[in-house]
């Protein structure tokens, strides 16, 4: 038996076909008594009132582009809402805004769409086509990038995510490697840092120099591969979502043994794929019920095989000055083996929380609402 929520008989207020509950409006009042006019943080607290707010008078003024509401309360309170602000924040709109940009791809559809290279000098941290690419196909390709240009982009999207290697990492084949990336070996499709608790990261892979033979770099859209995997192997997909496993990394010089228990695939509240965390080189001894092991390894191998298929791969031999920027919890990357005796291969990696990028774009999109006269009243 399910319990239905109590029926809400409040009169909903209609603005251009969008419905607003009076309580929602009262709680969202942008006036200087409800919201601090400089920090824009909420200062009103209506939780002490015995009843939800009641609108006494509602006036829609399309000429002034605002909705005005007088509330039944003492002292008298009047709220002003810009109409475009209301429509942008009506039910479902903010959630839709977060999702609508994703364009899933495989090798064939990406070829048909075409990849774009962006002149690094024309790429700023405040928007532009390279950020549009990052939000749609999950990666952006930059050319003509210098170490100074990389620093400019990182500073513009700071705070940067620091690792043991610092603000950025030099990736070269070195003796005594603490990570397989620091060898000449091939790396299968993976996401970085499955063994660290981080939010989604924007990853920069910048080739300062690339003279070695081999070492082609490739990208895979994990969301597209998972869509196909879910369709073809729904049982395996569910197992990967519902079974957390350990990813780990030992850093002998920094004396850390990282270990994070997490599912390879994470879903959002509506059941859509939200993130993939898969670094096979960090998959170690898994804490799985023995009875479940057989089927889980079949599922895991099925996904690893699928992610390795050419039909999902966009590959390129990056030259010095070229950079791939991508969302690390969606786009997997890897490389073919290279021969370090044939020349220098110097990759620089750096990470910025994905949230910085989203928040910058949102800031520019909505800043007008924070500097309108009403908040200053």
Closest CA to 195 of 145, 257, 238: 257
Site string (180-219) toward Zn ion, x via CB under 5 A: ----------------------------------------
| Piece of 10-18, 26-34, 140-148, 266-274 that binds Zn ion (CB under 5 A) | 26-34
**Min dist. Cβ of residue 78 to Zn ion (A):** 8
Piece in contact with Zn ion (CB under 5 A), picked from 32-40, 62-70, 211-219, 339-347: 32-40
CB of 178 to Zn ion, least distance (A): 56
CB of residue 33 vs Zn ion: minimum separation in angstroms?
5
**Nearer residue to Zn ion within complex by CB, 23 or 31:** 31
Binding of Zn ion at residue 169 (CB under 5 A)? no
23, 31, 52, 186: which one binds Zn ion (CB under 5 A): 31
Is residue 67 at the binding interface for Zn ion, with CB under 5 A as the rule?
no
23 is a site residue for Zn ion (CB under 5 A): no
* Cα atoms in the 13 Å half-sphere on the side-chain side of 185: 11
Candidates 28-36, 113-121, 215-223, 367-375 — which segment interacts with Zn ion by CB under 5 A?
A: 28-36
Smallest separation (angstroms) from Zn ion to the CB of 48: 16
Give the nearer residue to Zn ion in terms of CB position, either 51 or 310: 51
Q: What is the 3-state secondary structure (H, E, C) of the chain?
A: CCCCCCCCCCCCEEECCEEECHHHHHHCCCCCCCECCCCCCECCCHHHCCCCCCEEEEEEECCCCEEEEEECCCCCEEEEEEHHHHHHCCCCHHHHHHHCCCCCCCHHHHHHHCCCEEEHHHCECCECHHHHHHHHCCEEEEECCCHHHHHHHHHHCCCCECECCECCEEECCCCCCCCHHHCCCCEEEECCCCCCCCCCEEEEEEEEEECCEECCEEEEEHHHHHHHHHHHCHHHHHHHHHCCEEEEEEECCCCEEEEEEECCEEECCCCCEEEECCCHHHECCCCCCHHHHHHHHHHHHHHHHHHCCHHHEEEECCCCCCEEEEECCCEEEEECCEEHHHCCEEEEEEEEEHHHHHHHHHHHHHHHHHCCHHHHC
Give the residue with the Cβ less far from Zn ion, 30 or 334: 30
Say if residues 150 and 348 touch (Cβ distance below 8 Å). yes
Q: Which stretch binds Zn ion (CB under 5 A): 23-31, 153-161, 167-175, 202-210?
A: 23-31
Nearer to Zn ion, 43 or 99 (CB): 43
Shortest Å distance, C-beta 68 to Zn ion: 12
Residue 359 and residue 365: Cα distance in Å, rounded? Answer: 10
> Measured from the CB of residue 21, what is the shortest distance to Zn ion in angstroms?
16
| Residue 29 in the binding site for Zn ion (CB under 5 A) | yes
Counting contacts by CB under 5 A, is residue 34 touching Zn ion?
A: yes
Q: Which stretch binds Zn ion (CB under 5 A): 31-39, 143-151, 224-232, 350-358?
A: 31-39
Q: Of 296-355, which residues contact Zn ion (CB under 5 A)?
A: none
Q: Closest distance between Zn ion and the C-beta of residue 310, in Å? A: 59
What's the closest the beta carbon of residue 63 comes to Zn ion, in angstroms?
22
Please state the closest distance from residue 37 (CB atom) to Zn ion, in A.
11
Q: Which residues bind Zn ion (CB under 5 A)?
A: 29, 31, 34
């Amino acid at each position: 038996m399910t319990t239905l929520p109590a029926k809400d008989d409040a009169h909903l207020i209609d603005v251009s076909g969008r419905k607003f509950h009076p309580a929602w409006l009262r709680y969202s009042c942008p006036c200087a008594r409800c919201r601090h006019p400089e920090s824009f943080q909420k200062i009103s607290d209506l939780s002490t009132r015995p009843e939800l707010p009641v609108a006494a008078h509602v006036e829609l003024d399309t000429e002034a582009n605002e909705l005005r509401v007088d509330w039944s309360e003492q002292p008298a309170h009047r709220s002003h809402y810009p109409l475009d602000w209301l429509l942008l924040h009506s039910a479902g709109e903010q959630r839709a805004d977060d999702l609508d940009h994703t364009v899933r791809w495989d090798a064939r559809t990406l070829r048909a769409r075409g990849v774009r290279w962006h002149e690094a000098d024309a790429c700023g941290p405040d928007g532009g086509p390279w950020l549009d690419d990052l939000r749609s196909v999950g990666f952006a390709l930059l050319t003509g990038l210098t170490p100074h240009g990389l620093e400019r982009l990182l500073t513009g999207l700071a705070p940067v995510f620091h690792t043991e290697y610092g603000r950025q990492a030099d990736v070269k084949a070195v003796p005594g490697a603490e990570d397989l990336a620091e060898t000449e070996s091939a790396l299968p499709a993976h996401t970085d840092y499955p063994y660290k608790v981080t939010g989604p990261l924007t990853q920069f892979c910048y080739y300062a120099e690339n003279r070695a033979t081999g070492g082609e770099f490739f990208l895979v859209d994990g969301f597209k591969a998972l869509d196909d995997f879910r369709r073809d192997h729904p049982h395996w997909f569910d197992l990967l979502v519902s079974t957390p496993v350990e990813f780990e990394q030992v850093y002998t010089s920094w004396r850390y043994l990282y270990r994070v228990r997490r599912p390879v695939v994470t879903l959002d509240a509506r059941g859509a794929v939200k993130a993939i965390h898969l670094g096979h080189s960090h998959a170690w001894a898994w804490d799985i019920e023995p009875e479940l092991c057989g089927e889980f390894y079949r599922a895991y191998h099925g996904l690893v095989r699928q992610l390795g298929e050419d039909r999902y791969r966009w590959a390129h031999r990056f030259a010095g000055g070229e950079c791939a920027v991508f969302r690390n919890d969606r786009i997997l990357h890897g490389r073919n083996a290279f021969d370090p005796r044939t020349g220098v291969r110097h990759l620089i990696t750096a990470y910025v929380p994905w949230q910085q990028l989203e928040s910058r774009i949102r800031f520019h999109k909505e800043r007008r609402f924070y500097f309108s006269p009403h908040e200053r009243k």
